[in-house]
Chains A and B, each alone.
Chain A
């Protein structure tokens, strides 16, 4: 085994850091703390991602045939770590390079590829993911937003909720119900967010601005060509596309950066003395590093093109533990930094709580581990 980055990987990381140092404005932290869905970061990202693309660092991990450099998942990991540690200047566009672009490539029609890929590749495309509904959260397959095909057009009625970035998105990757078959009755439609009949309402939240929304669909009409894949193919497509997204955000790294930042502040304000604070900091670090290693074990498999199984849920749960431990450490030993609005710690505190819910709640991960890793007999339905 070897836990070191290669010279090339290290050089890639340095290149990213140099780029970030040159491109982020002096007041960046005061922009960044608004969160990736905010108007500020969204506007910034439309410039920033373009320059990142010009520098060849927007999607270096995409295959060459897609315009990428064919670099492996370690580079994607390094890219994500550096971007998120810097406050994610790509804003919502991290989703594009992680899964939306590759999914368009794999399943999109020629027409869809031709119209939808260029803005993504240019670093100027905001997407949102319309999956969850008021009555369909963890039980996503129960979703009810209807799409009825009538004379070459789909008519959509229903409601989505918790939709990140919806307020400023250009397009929605929307899951709709086209028949009663639980999973095979779900169909993907790609819906421009300015289509008449769509209403977006931001939901005031404790996690910062611009993230979660309600999206209402009232007789929204899109052409049949907006369908992505076949009718009923949604479950297959999202299972494939999102298989790595449980770990799409390198939260272990964010948590560790926040912890290091907190210890640095404690050292300057005199709080880094006595045993208790040090013991608690180390306990949090043990969790960020177990989470990091568990995630890296999965990246290692991805690079080797080995199948990724339920161990991703185990890594994800470990990440939740890490986020929680760091957040609790800061709350206990540095509350004033949160009150004063220290940008990085405040952002971490606001958003760390999300880890246990978004992209599959923690308990759902435990269910998967119990059934698929430990192979315990299934719960009765």
Chain B
């Protein structure tokens, strides 16, 4: 057992914080439903932060830490698939990566756009293709889920897809770890934003954070968020399918418990685009349905643990 971060990991996280400093808050007067930055994306890729999984001494565990840390930014960065799934397939695959399963046609996919790499899991086979305008319905300007998204219109024919000699289960495990890591970071940031708001906002002559009804629900959110972090790290270290499914399940359970509360505690301010809370919580909402949602991840966990 060794549950502390290594010096290398601490350094990498510090470097991310430094690099991402200009992106740590929302640009003034910005009222976007989703925030993205090509420059941030480029800097992260060039800095090698999304490639740490393949580096000795760092590995998927560090990749999960990177994903968790980046998710705390108000800007949506495609990091989970690139940092955790791409190394299993081909480290040179063009970003962003989109992960889809059978039945994705007709649905909105995070980060989908012409030029994106779509990784497709179907009947235990892992393949990929580069999305073009034949596959993608023009992205909506306003995403309801605070991620850039577009609808997958069609799949290319089988021969147009590249196949990988990797088990779909292994990809699923990494996908689940990425999902849990991203949700952990989103919850941590959303909790922090909510804590700041309720500590400053006064009603009845005192900060609303002094009302126990809010305090206890926020404390529960802390417990769930802490749990999500540890489950993510354990799964990233063991890469055990059961651990990964439990991590994804817990992340989705926790997300479901906290997102509504966080908005609730901001009152009407929580309905505005001016306050950035939605930039985290509405990404969390998108993650709630991923990989089939809680039920599917729970079944996967039960299968892995008890057969």
Contact = CB atoms under 8 A, between A and B. Distances in A.
A290 B298 contact: no
B134 interface: no
B10 interface: no
Contacts of A321: 223
B306 to A, nearest CB: 5
Given A263-B306, A376-B195, A1 B250 contact: no
A366 B234 CA distance: 25
B223 A376 contact: no
B227 interface: yes
Interface stretch (A92-100, A176-184, A276-284): A276-284
Chain A: interface secondary structure? helix
B233 A1 contact: yes
Contacts of B268: none
B122 interface: no
Contacts of A71: none
A307 interface: no
B209 A279 contact: no
B207 interface: yes
A293 B227 contact: yes
Interface stretch (B22-30, B102-110, B154-162, B212-220): B212-220
Interface stretch (B1-9, B13-21, B74-82, B167-175): B1-9
A300 B305 contact: no
A376 B209 CA distance: 6
B22 to A, nearest CB: 26
A280 B302 CA distance: 9
A293 B219 contact: no
B303 to A, nearest CB: 8
A340 interface: no
B179 interface: no
B209 A285 contact: no
A379 B306 contact: no
Interface string B216-257: 101110111011101101100110000101100110010000
A363 B220 CA distance: 10
B125 interface: no
A286 B305 CA distance: 11
Given A282-B249, A293-B227, A318-B227, A369 B222 contact: yes
A225 to B, nearest CB: 43
A31 B295 CA distance: 39
B205 to A, nearest CB: 10
Contacts of A290: 224, 226-228, 230-231, 250
A97 B207 CA distance: 45
Interface stretch (A2-10, A32-40, A150-158, A343-351): A2-10
Contact of B218 (A74, A282, A283, A370): A370
B52 to A, nearest CB: 14
Interface residues of A, number: 52
Interface string B103-140: 00000000000000000000000000000000000000
B152 interface: no
A371 to B, nearest CB: 8
Given A279-B299, A281-B302, A317-B219, A293 B237 contact: no
B5 A1 contact: yes
Contact of A376 (B199, B298, B303): B199
A25 interface: no
A279 B227 contact: no
A290 B216 CA distance: 19
Given A296-B3, A380-B210, A286 B249 contact: yes
B295 A5 contact: no
A367 B215 contact: yes
A290 B206 CA distance: 35
Given A263-B306, A275-B295, A379-B212, A300 B2 contact: yes
A24 interface: no
B238 A373 contact: no
Contacts of A379: 210, 212, 215
Contacts of A74: 1
B2 A286 contact: no
A289 interface: yes
The 3 closest A-B pairs by CB, nearest first: A290-B227, A293-B230, A282-B298
Interface of B: 1-5, 61, 191, 195, 198-199, 206-207, 209-210, 212, 215-216, 218-220, 222-224, 226-228, 230-231, 233-234, 237-238, 243, 245-246, 249-250, 253, 294-295, 297-299, 301-303, 305-306
9 contacts: A4-B1, A5-B1, A275-B299, A282-B246, A282-B302, A318-B227, A369-B222, A370-B219, A373-B222
Given A1-B237, A282-B249, A285-B301, 18 more contacts: A3-B237, A5-B1, A6-B1, A263-B306, A279-B299, A281-B306, A283-B253, A290-B230, A291-B227, A293-B234, A304-B4, A317-B219, A369-B219, A370-B209, A376-B198, A376-B209, A377-B209, A377-B210
